Amino acid sequence: MNKFDRSLNGYNIQQVNAFVDDCVVKVDDMITKMKEKDLEIDRLKNELDHYKRMDETLNRAVVMAEEASTKYKESSLNESDLIINEAKKNANRIVNDALLKAEKIEEESQRLRRNIITYKRRMRNIIEEQMNLVDDLDKVDLNDTNN
């Protein structure tokens, strides 16, 4: 606190005026600084609001991305199940076709075996008949010219 000198009419007017002027300057500085602080506070509030909006937007984007990811996963799982089921159906069809073909080939093979056996039997009979004819030739008397 400043102490003022006394004069005839009270305190020294120059010292009081100087003190008042100094107080006015300090108060003006304080008011200016407070206005600057208020402006800075407003700017920071606006910036904070901006960042809050960005945060909300990013949070919505993250939620949407998570939802899309979940839907994509579900869709992929469903599609993979369909592909697997279709592949199983195709595999069953292929196996059944192969079994039918194998069965037909087995039937054809059995038929060919029977045909070969029949052919062998006929050939054997023909050869035996030819052998009998050859044997009968031995019985024929070449000297007997009458017949």
Mean pLDDT of all residues in 37-41: 96
Considering its fold, how many domains does the chain have in total? Answer: 1
Task: Tell me which residue range forms the domain holding 49.
Answer: 6-105
Instruction: Give the pTM.
Output: 0.46
| Separate counts of helices (H) and strands (E) for the chain | 1, 2
pLDDT band at 63 (very low <50, low <70, confident <90, very high): very high
Would 133 be classed as within a structural domain? no
Tens digits of residue pLDDT in 5-31? 676 677 777 888 888 889 999 999 999
Would 27 be classed as within a structural domain? yes
Q: Where are the beta strands (DSSP E) in the chain?
A: 6-7, 10-11
What are the C-alpha distances in Å from 24 to residues 28, 32, 34?
6, 12, 15
Would 45 be classed as within a structural domain? yes
The length of the chain is 147
Would 111 be classed as within a structural domain? no
Would 40 be classed as within a structural domain? yes
Would 30 be classed as within a structural domain? yes
Would 83 be classed as within a structural domain? yes
Higher pLDDT, 139 or 130: 130
Using a 10 angstrom Cβ sphere, with 0-12 exposed, 13-18 middle and 19 or more buried, the burial of residue 12 is: middle
pLDDT at 133: 87
Would 32 be classed as within a structural domain? yes
